């Protein structure tokens, strides 16, 4: 599935570069199970910041990170938030696994690792010759640029010009080159038009998450295992794993659903997309502001047959509801002003309380207009 042909010269260059920069690449088994990470790596992590540009942070490409900005190690149960029935309005338990405590604040750092690592360890990508090109609306490109920097590889980030200022500001400090293409979250085609141009230059190696098998394979092997572990840790007697819901961009994350379906065959899978860009639901298109998902394409990831299409659901998420009525929705269902929700939280303030403190009289119009869901889903 992944081309593992060795390029001897490239590999020699990469090994030399790794030695010079003290780079140790973690294994997938270590990403699944942090107990396998050597003590000397953990000792180094204990005085390294979560987002530091330090190769040791490759070991934090893990769902098991402690919820700490500085010096965190690992925990058996991945970080999660439980959505109380009072908010959801349904009696079943809803657990959301949190990607906030990955470096970059998003799990896409794992997907991009899954794409770059095979080319690096085979020598097909030569770190002394190639640039790693990361086309994406944001989190994949941020993850790719971050990993490239940790792995001493040159990188090029390509993303739409309308993405948030925070994304561009941070990328300036990480990526070798940034290219802004026309449009917003929905304008993936424009990004790929640009990659066709770049491809003429043989030093540019494009890491297209929509076609790289490293993306779904990383999620199957790492995200899928983490979700199963999380369920086993939180389940109470008599409870079963009824369903798993993913939001989809490249359909890499959804591959975790394939692993879950193998382990829990009765479970239903669902995939969410912005209703303003209903590609799966209605072969449709349009602009929306949920950063990270949905872009008018059904990808190679879907073509590999994620189990969601066997007997799953597609969900339309109204971006406008999240942005304009987020606070209102949180308080519906009986929460009084100022009342905090009991979250099994990963370190952040309870969401309802944060929204309420910020906008005690309801979300003002100008904030609604400017709002976007940021890289950590806030
Ligand atoms: C926060 C977030 N959630 C979900 C997704 C969608 O993941 P995938 O591309 O694996 O379908 C992305 C993609 O960038 C994302 O950034």
**Local confidence pLDDT in tens for the 378 residues of the chain:** 789 999 999 999 999 999 999 999 999 999 999 999 999 999 999 999 999 999 999 999 999 999 999 999 999 999 999 988 888 889 999 999 999 999 999 999 999 999 999 999 999 999 999 999 999 877 899 999 999 999 999 999 998 888 778 888 999 999 999 999 998 766 778 888 999 999 999 999 999 998 899 999 999 999 999 999 999 999 999 999 999 999 888 889 999 999 999 999 999 998 888 887 888 887 777 777 676 676 666 654 454 455 556 677 888 887 665 555 554 444 443 344 444 343 333 333 334 444 444 455 555 454 444 444 444 434
Strands of the sheet containing 268-274, edge to edge, are: 243-247, 268-274, 313-317
Question: Hey, what's the torsion of the CAs at 57, 232, 84, 349, to 10 degrees?
Answer: -20
Closest to 106 (Cα-Cα) out of 51, 153, 161, 156: 51
Whether the CB-CB separation of 292 and 314 falls below 8 Å is answered with no
The atom of ligand 1 lying closest to the CA of 106 is 1
The interaxial angle of helices 108-122 and 8-20, nearest 10 deg, is: 120
251 Cβ inside 6 Å of ligand 1: yes
247 Cβ inside 6 Å of ligand 1: yes
Q: What is the pLDDT of residue 319?
A: 67
Here the tokens at position 311 are: 């007997």
Q: Print burial letters for 150-178: b (CB count within 10 Å at least 16), e (below 16).
A: bbbbbbbbbbbebbeeebeebbeebbeeb
Whether the CB-CB separation of 68 and 50 falls below 8 Å is answered with yes
201 vs 194: CA distance, rounded Å: 12
Q: What is the pLDDT of residue 321?
A: 56
91 vs 72: CA distance, rounded Å: 35
Residue 335 C-alpha to ligand 1 middle, in angstroms? 30
59 vs 26: CA distance, rounded Å: 6
**Ligand 1, atom 3, residue with closest C-alpha:** 292
Q: What is the pLDDT of residue 179?
A: 94
Whether the CB-CB separation of 277 and 296 falls below 8 Å is answered with yes
Hey, which of 292, 302, 372 would you mutate to test ligand 1's pocket, going by the most ligand atoms within 8 Å of its Cβ? 292
Q: Which long-range contacts (CB under 8 A, 24 or more apart) does 345-352 make?
A: 345/81, 346/67, 346/79, 346/80, 346/81, 346/98, 346/100, 346/101, 347/67, 347/68, 347/79, 347/101, 348/100, 352/87
**Ligand 1, atom 16, residue with closest C-alpha:** 292
15 vs 319: CA distance, rounded Å: 46
Determine how β-strand 80-83 pairs with β-strand 94-97.
antiparallel
Grouping H, G, I as helix, E, B as strand and the rest as coil, residue 332 is coil
Look up the pTM and report it. Answer: 0.84
Grouping H, G, I as helix, E, B as strand and the rest as coil, residue 154 is strand
Closest to 271 (Cα-Cα) out of 290, 289, 251: 251
């Amino acid at each position: 599935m992944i081309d593992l042909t060795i390029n001897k010269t490239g590999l020699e260059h990469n090994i030399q570069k790794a030695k010079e920069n003290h780079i140790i690449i973690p294994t997938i088994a270590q990403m699944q199970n942090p107990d396998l990470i050597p003590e000397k790596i953990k000792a180094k992590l204990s005085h390294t910041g979560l987002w530091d540009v330090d190769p040791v942070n490759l070991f934090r490409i893990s769902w098991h990170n402690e919820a700490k900005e500085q010096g965190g190690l690992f925990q058996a149960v991945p970080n999660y938030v439980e959505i109380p029935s009072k908010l959801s309005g349904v009696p079943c338990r809803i657990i959301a696994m949190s990607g906030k405590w990955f470096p970059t604040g998003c799990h896409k750092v794992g997907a991009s690792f899954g794409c770059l690592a095979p080319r690096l360890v085979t020598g097909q990508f030569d770190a002394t010759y190639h640039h790693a090109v990361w086309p994406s609306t944001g989190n994949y490109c941020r993850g790719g640029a971050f990993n490239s920097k940790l792995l001493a590889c040159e990188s090029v980030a390509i993303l739409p010009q309308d993405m948030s200022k925070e994304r561009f500001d941070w990328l300036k400090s990480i990526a070798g080159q940034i290219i802004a293409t026309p449009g917003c979250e929905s304008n993936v085609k424009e990004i790929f038009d640009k990659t066709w141009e770049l491809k003429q230059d043989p030093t540019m190696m494009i890491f297209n998450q929509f076609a790289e098998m490293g993306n779904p394979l990383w999620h199957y092997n790492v995200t899928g295992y983490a979700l199963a572990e999380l369920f086993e840790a939180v389940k109470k007697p008599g409870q079963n794993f009824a369903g798993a819901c993913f939001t989809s961009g490249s359909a890499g994350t959804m591959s975790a659903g394939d692993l879950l379906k193998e382990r829990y065959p009765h479970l239903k899978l669902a995939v969410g997309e912005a209703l303003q860009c209903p590609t799966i639901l209605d072969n449709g298109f349009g602009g929306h502001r949920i950063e990270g998902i949905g872009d008018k394409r059904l990808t190679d990831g879907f073509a590999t047959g994620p189990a969601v299409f066997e007997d799953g659901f597609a969900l339309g998420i109204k971006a406008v509801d999240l942005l304009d009525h987020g606070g209102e929705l949180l308080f519906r269902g009986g929460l009084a002003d100022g009342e905090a929700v009991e979250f099994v939280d990963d370190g952040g303030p309870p969401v309802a309380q944060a929204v309420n403190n910020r906008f005690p009289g309801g979300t003002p119009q100008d904030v609604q207009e400017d709002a976007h869901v940021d890289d950590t889903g806030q």
